[in-house]
Structure 1
């Protein structure tokens, strides 16, 4: 069975953003996302793997037997776009996506070029819905206010 690559690390989040984000706008948006997700979760940001900033954590186990730990919410300031790990396939999430703004959808994340392209209240709704979904579907999810 494949080993999970995205594991918690002790790397410094602020140092990561300052060294990894390749433009001033990407750095500014990264620090704004830190604030948004920290306010929603009440959790300190932590590095997961070499490039994902996560908030909170939960344990998952698939029917295949694959299991691991993951952040409840997260993002990565990738070169071409931010990867936002805030989506759960629920009706409320689908409604929030309709008003999110300019983005692309991946299998497990939402890609956004810059924060000014999206509706922040819709992003916050996606975050809250994702937290609710994880809390309801994963017995080992951490408690987030």
Structure 2
């Protein structure tokens, strides 16, 4: 089995940004997605016991799991627009 060395690893494409989760959710115009985002924010914070944080510009994550990456989100919600 090949061994993954540090030179083989790439940087995470999505990283924690420190941006406001509340501002991100408030900007969602679709009423159902907005409502679902607020409900998931409350539910996932209760389930994980972790605060929400923005990962990249559009991903809300809860907690961190260290596996193969320096940091990766444990649970996330990514509301994508319908085309």
TM range (shorter): 0.7 to 0.9
Given candidates 19, 22, 26, the residue that maps to 1:14 is 22
| Residue 38 (structure 1) aligns with | 45
Q: CA RMSD in A?
A: 1.3
Deviating beyond 4 angstroms after TM superposition, the runs of 4 or more aligned structure 1 residues are none
Q: 1:3 aligns with which of 8, 11, 21?
A: 11
1:19-46 deviation per Cα after TM superposition (whole angstroms, max 9, x unaligned): 2x23111100100011111110111100
Aligned residue runs from structure 1 range 1-145, under 5 A? 1-19=9-27, 21-61=28-68, 67-80=69-82
Provide the aligned length of Structure 1 versus Structure 2: 74
- Structure 2, unaligned stretches of length 5 or more? 1-8
Give 1:50 shift: 1.1
Length-normalised TM-score, structure 1: 0.48
Q: Which structure: greater helix fraction?
A: 1
Q: Distance in 2 between matches of 1:22 and 1:60?
A: 35
Q: Deviations over 1:96-143 (max 9, x none)?
A: xxxxxxxxxxxxxxxxxxxxxxxxxxxxxxxxxxxxxxxxxxxxxxxx
The structure with higher relative contact order (CA 8 Å, sep 6+) is: 2
Query: Quick one: distance in 2 between partners of 1:75 and 1:4?
Result: 18
